[in-house]
Amino acid sequence: MNPSIDPIPFARPMIGSDEEAAVLRVMRSGWLTTGDEASAFEREFAAFVGCRHALAVNSATAGLHLALEAHGIGPGDEVLLSPYTFASAAAVVRHLGARPVFVDVERDGFNIDPEALAETAAAHPTARAVMPVHFAGLPCRMDRIIEVARAHQLVVIEDAAHAFPSPTAGGYAGTIGDTGVFSFYATKTITTGEGGMVCTKDDEVARRITMMRLHGIDRTVWDRYRTPGATWKYDVHEAGFKYNLPDILAAIGRVQLGRAEAFLESRKRIAARYREAFSDADFLTLPPDGDGNAFHLFVVRLKLDSLTIGRDEFIASLAERGIGCSVHFIPLHVTRFYAGTYGLFERQFPRALEAYRRAVSLPIYPGLDDDPIDRIIDAVRAVGAAHRRIR
């Protein structure tokens, strides 16, 4: 990269003085781990998305693990999901002794194809759950997915790691199925550094997750030490996990939650700029859009037959111009572990494969002002023009 160019990172969290003050307040309170702040974050998040139970956890990965476990997924079960997702979604299925079964994405989209889901569900009578991921923040076709799930007695666990806030006619993404899981990882639409939230309408699932996220014991540390009449006593009901969200992080989450609508407006503005700027670009395809898009990612697809370079070179050329890009995702069925363990081959999920080969995720985050957006647009257009295939 030219050293005189100011690099534009692919992602950057928006952390300001309010988040700093919130952390300081908790640090000075004498209570750092899960307590009042985490409970307040849960109440506020539940009110925001309109769900019955919101349970704070230390990652979405932990949340997906807990959600599957609480819905009774275990050895011998199958869980349906698209390969176009992050590694942890399939890993937690394995951790429970169950088997991930992949279903291809929609034509020209990145979300699971509900018709392919119906076919796979019919062919897999031992499937117990489906985990649709609202890729890039664009809600999946939940009406049809829920219809298919009901027909095949599948629990619907939404992976809403990218989808906050994603308001749809049927409610916020993450609250439409049986249980939904959000991520507050550093690059997500709101962040606590690491963190997540599980939303469920099911009282029994909420009770189970509350217990399993903290060692399978029947009382939280806060209950044991801080509530009136507190006692040190507890009992262990299960071999649980250590998946609780500490108050220091919950305090950041509460501030970020209050900024979520403003963040969304910024992301929408950037997406609109990209859409306009690339509307006549003949070397790429714009991502699908629709109601409730949280614009976590902006993934364009290169038209590889109109370019003389491949996707990786395209990203390298942007990097030389100081533009940080990424690729979401390497489909799980082409990764060493999943391909090897389940005997999967590349063309088995042709749409996911095609999406991956062409995908470039451009920077999209609230701190991105007009100048860097202009630079990104100019750079993408320049790389496209410099490598146009002449026919």
Ligand X SMILES: Cc1ncc(COP(=O)(O)O)c(C=O)c1O
Residue from 75, 55, 300, 61 nearest 197 by CA: 55
The catalytic residue among 188, 201, 268, 303 is: 188
Query: How far is residue 372's CA from residue 12's CA, in Å, rounded to a whole number?
Result: 13
Q: Supply the minimum distance, in Å, between the C-beta of residue 164 and ligand X.
A: 12
Question: Please, are residues 9 and 324 in contact by the beta-carbon 8 Å criterion?
Answer: yes
- Whether 242 is a known active-site residue: answer no
Nearest to 263 by CA among 42, 2, 15: 15
Write phi, then psi, for 49 (nearest 5 degrees): -90, -10
Residue 60 Cβ vs ligand X, minimum distance, rounded to whole Å = 3
Query: Shortest gap between Cβ of 98 and ligand X (angstroms)?
Result: 17
Instruction: Report strand pairing: 53-57 vs 196-200.
Output: antiparallel
Please enumerate in sequence order all residues whose Cβ is within 8 A of that of 341, keeping only pairs 6 or more positions apart, or say none.
none
β-pair partners for 129: 79, 155
Angle between helices 114-123 and 142-151 (to 10 degrees): 10
Residue 344 CB, nearest approach to ligand X (Å): 19
Q: Are 243 and 57 in contact (CB under 8 A)?
A: yes
User: Which residue, 46 or 87, is less far from ligand X as judged by CB?
Assistant: 87
Nearest approach, Cβ of 370 to ligand X (angstroms)?
A: 28
Q: Based on CB atoms, which residue is closest to ligand X, 334 or 373?
A: 334
Shortest reach from residue 183's CB to ligand X, in Å: 3
**C-alpha distances in angstroms, 265 versus 165, 219, 248, 260, 269?**
11, 40, 27, 9, 6
Q: Which is nearer to ligand X, 14 or 330 (CB)?
A: 330
As given in the structure block, the two tokens for residue 229 are: 């009449």
CB of 264 to ligand X, least distance (A): 18
Interface contacts to ligand X, rule CB under 6 A: 59-61, 85-86, 88-89, 133, 159, 161-162, 183, 185, 196
Separation in Å, CA 187 to CA 90, 183, 326, 364: 21, 9, 12, 10
Q: Active-site positions?
A: 188
